[in-house]
A = this chain, B = another copy of it.
Amino acid sequence: MSRPSTKPRSGMRDFLPRDIARREYVVSLVRRVYERYGFVPLETPAVESLAILSGKYGEDEKLIYRILHRGEALRRVLDRAENAAALGADDLSEEALRYDLTVPLARVVAQYGGVLPKYFKRYQIQPVWRADRPGKGRFREFYQCDVDAIGSRGRIPEAEVLSAVSEALSELRLDDHEIRINHRGLLRAVLDVAGVPEDLGTSALTALDKLDKIGVEGVRTELRERGIDDGAAARLLDLVAADEDRGDPKARVRALAARLGGVGEDVAAELAELFEVLDVTPAVGRVRFDPALARGLGYYTGAIFEVRLTDFGSSVAGGGRYDGLIGMFGKQAVPAVGCSIGLERILVVLDERGLFPPLRVGPDAVVCWFGVPAACVLSVARTLREGGARVEVFPDAAKLGKQLAYAAQDAVGARFAVIVGPDEAAEGMVSVKDLESGEQVRVATSEAAALVARGPGALEAPSKAT
């Protein structure tokens, strides 16, 4: 048999230790911020039944990873089929991989409604799978960081979700993040007043959403191509694009509402209220009203938001209010507002901008040895570990030079070698060598742990050691 390819599947990735350190840095920081806001963690299985997933993702449903029936169940289907061509995916599978974290949340709320608090504020950071065409920054297995507040129709949960996301991005030192906010109700009112026919509304919004990328004339052309007459297009663009400058978002929302002549007044008041409360949160100054923001997903019912960075083409987070979705598996509607941080994009930006802090990967020291029994070496390692150092032991008897060369490799990640030879062993000492500077000192084994755990510079400035 030919040797199979050992690459990961297309669009999927192996995470080596350094990759994991970076991912962990972001994930643990985001979790910490979310928990500061009272959000609690939830995890759901990778596999969901197709009865739960079907009909939720429109034409993207074809991207779902389905699980093939097994054993008898598969045999039965195949043996009973009149002919193979009459079979389809639905005959061959009844479960599939998680496609997002929102539908599982809806399932969980329906299943454990009695156990969960009425206001369920959960975050969920888990991979999802989509058989999309892989590309730069687009993967088939990728993590979502969702944060959602279930159970209230008010502004407070909206402000809390946005504030938590903003605080997380600030702590990641993405200080240029900007939160664009709009409201589905306001969009509906705008389309209405502009005279866009109702059946073309969604199509018009898809064009409008590109305003940032293709500009006013680009959108005008696309609206025409989508069958919206020039008069309606002009009115639409006049309403949403005329006011592209910044400024107090509350005032801008009210100004738009005034131009709409009463239509959407309630919605505008709601949105102004959101801007007002955001002023006292850490998101203050990051918030902008964007009347052209549409967001693709059809399920939003109220405020919608998108977080962008100044020099990064796509959004790094997005979300909104969706009062119709969480209740879909239960008996009553459950209001909800949420936001999802795009972990993979954040990682790209932090890397491009050099914003990762120094992240420790691998041991502090490798114990290298010669002329002493293995038990002596393991005993030194134990002392070092008990002293708080992270220690690898060179596993085989090899020349010391070879051991030190191994320890100094970037792939190992150690800063120090702790050398144990017969002289050292006889005196209860070890030699600690800084693998970067080459400096070397001999210390009592009991003192070595504190030295190597101190990291770079530990040997150069012994006077500062205490």
Give A contacts to B, CB under 8 Å: 3-9, 12-17, 19-21, 35-38, 40-49, 51-52, 62-63, 65-68, 70-71, 74, 77-79, 81-85, 87-89, 92-93, 95, 97, 107-108, 110-112, 115-119, 121-122, 127, 129, 131, 140-141, 149, 151-157, 159-160, 163, 273, 276-277, 279-282, 329-330, 361-363, 366, 374-379, 381-382, 385, 389-397, 406, 409, 411-414
Contacts and interface: CB of A to CB of B under 8 A. Distances in A.
Interface of chain A: mostly helix, strand, loop or mixed:
mixed
B92 A411 contact: no
Given A46-B129, A47-B129, A65-B70, 9 more contacts: A6-B108, A16-B112, A38-B393, A46-B127, A47-B140, A47-B141, A68-B68, A154-B396, A156-B378
A81 B87 CA distance: 11
A37 B392 contact: yes
A95 to B, nearest CB: 6
Greatest chain B CB density within 10 A among A46, A83, A141 is at A46
Contact of A83 (B17, B84, B108): B84
Contacts of A280: 375-376, 378-379, 382
A379 to B, nearest CB: 4
A14 B121 contact: no
Given A44-B14, A279-B375, A36 B108 contact: no
A355 to B, nearest CB: 21
Contact of A141 (B45, B107, B122, B362): B45
A377 B118 CA distance: 20
18 contacts: A4-B52, A4-B329, A6-B107, A6-B110, A8-B44, A13-B45, A14-B44, A20-B41, A20-B42, A35-B363, A38-B366, A46-B141, A65-B70, A81-B84, A92-B92, A151-B395, A154-B374, A279-B375
A117 B14 contact: no
Contacts of A395: 119, 149, 151-152, 154, 156-157, 160
A70 B62 contact: yes
Contact of A377 (B45, B49, B156, B376): B156
Contact of A47 (B9, B79, B121): B9
A85 B78 contact: yes
Nearest to A95: B9
Contacts of A67: 65-68, 97
Greatest chain B CB density within 10 A among A19, A37, A330 is at A37
A390 B38 contact: yes
A117 B412 contact: yes
Contacts of A412: 117
Given A14-B44, A67-B67, A68-B92, A391 B36 contact: yes
A67 B307 CA distance: 35
A45 B14 contact: yes
A48 to B, nearest CB: 7
A83 B155 CA distance: 59
Greatest chain B CB density within 10 A among A35, A277, A280 is at A280
